Amino acid sequence: MNDAGKRKLKLSIVSMNLSTNCTNRCVRIAEALSGEYEVEIVGTTFGVGTRWGEGLWPPLEGVSIPIRAVRGGYLPGYLKSIRALLSAIDGDVIIACKPRFPSLGVALIKKVLSGKPVILDVDDDELAQTLPGKRASLPKQLINTGGYLFTRMTHPFWKFADGIFTVSEHFRNTYGGVIVSHGRDPDELNPAKYDRTKIRNDLNIDVEDTVIGFVGSPQQQKGIDLILEAIRKLNNEKLKLMIVGAEDNDAYLASLKQQYGSSMMTVTPQPIEKIPYYLTAIDLVVLPQRKVPESLGQMPAKLTDAMAMAKPVIASGLADIPLHLEGRGLIVEPGNLDDLARAIEWVLDNRQDAQEMGMRAREYFLEKLTLAAMLTAMRPEIERTAKRMA
């Protein structure tokens, strides 16, 4: 209860696509709020590849937050999905993750029909993310509510949201609101709870190998090819990259395997609770995002995970990453291969210093990047919007 005799506020967190990793942010928000509010995640399963409209994102397996999924598709059939979503969204406050039609658009329709306030959460530049879809034919764009055309039409309506969460100053400069950094449970992501030697043995990692980790969905703007090229430049056969979250049919990864196969290990998408298991096995995390519109304001959730697990981190100096890693990680110039290779080499040559850097990162995580810190940031905005519409 919030006050004596009052029920908990119910929050409906709306995902734009429950079939992809964009739901990860919804889960983080839901976990942070679940101790104080009644929380559920609602959204459409648009599917991936040929499995259109089918299936939840596999890492959602084991998530304890209630999830109400509606099967999606193209218009006009998607109109039935919209009606089902409007029925499923019954929270006192609606949190729409991303300014896209299947999340913000549907949430604002619900606001018009019910008067329920809407808080928009912004963690990506959705216009930049969907821009490649502009090349699709107009008929195809007119039936795809998650594509570029609908995103462009929906975006201006962010101003009708009653509150705003963002992940960086870059986005706050555009949308206002409050910064809600990606947070995690410090007990779940606790390096002291995991046996590194056993896990590496289970994964058949050679005791002499140094493993760079990338845990998440590999995309070109995230610079995975730069990591592999840096490994090649360093000419160290004991240096490997492990990608956790690799889809079997990923064309980008297939092309990388052709060029760098001996330096790569890939693991299919894993349940969210398995993230600390794989982070335990690696030696350092490298996040060399390119300086492109898609990444200018983005704060990788995998940065929080790495800091929580006290891993040495090397990352591009984009968005608020330098603020998080000041004295607690290494910042490299985006797209600069020589800079990246030097940073990796420093970690290899200064293992003790790198470990101490990782421990400082965990101390910062415990202060700034926990679920409790997320709740502290979100609570005033939620309570304000709830009272405003009461």
* pLDDT digits 0-9 by tens, 309-321: 999 999 999 999 9
Q: How much is the average pLDDT of 184-211?
A: 95
DSSP string, 222-253: GTHHHHHHHHHHHT-TTEEEEEES--TT-HHH
Q: How much is the average pLDDT of 96-124?
A: 97
Task: Please give the pLDDT value at position 247.
Answer: 76
Task: Please give the pLDDT value at position 388.
Answer: 73
* pLDDT digits 0-9 by tens, 54-82: 688 888 887 899 999 999 999 999 999 99
Biggest CA pair distance of the chain: 67
277 token code pair: 């298991």
Cβ-Cβ contacts under 8 Å for 276 (sequence gap 6 or more): 188, 189, 190, 191, 193, 194, 305, 308, 309
Helical ranges in the chain per DSSP H:
23-33, 78-88, 106-114, 126-130, 138-143, 148-154, 169-175, 196-202, 224-234, 251-260, 275-281, 301-308, 321-325, 337-349, 351-368, 371-388
Is the model's pLDDT at 50 over the cut of 60? no
Q: What is the mean pLDDT of the chain?
A: 92
213 token code pair: 């980790």
Say whether the peptide bond before residue 76 is cis (omega within 30 degrees of 0). yes
Is the model's pLDDT at 154 over the cut of 90? yes
Is the model's pLDDT at 2 over the cut of 60? no
Proportion of the chain above pLDDT 70, given as a percent:
96
Is 1 or 44 the better-scoring residue by pLDDT? 44
- Reported pTM: 0.91
Task: Please give the pLDDT value at position 132.
Answer: 87
pLDDT band at 390; cut points 50, 70, 90: low
105 token code pair: 């658009």
Q: How much is the average pLDDT of 105-117?
A: 97
Proportion of the chain above pLDDT 90, given as a percent:
78
Is the model's pLDDT at 198 over the cut of 70? yes
Task: Please give the pLDDT value at position 272.
Answer: 85
- Beta carbons of 14 and 42 less than 8 angstroms apart: yes
* pLDDT digits 0-9 by tens, 237-274: 999 999 988 777 778 888 888 888 889 888 888 888 89
Q: How much is the average pLDDT of 19-29?
A: 93
CB atoms within 10 A of CB 373: 19
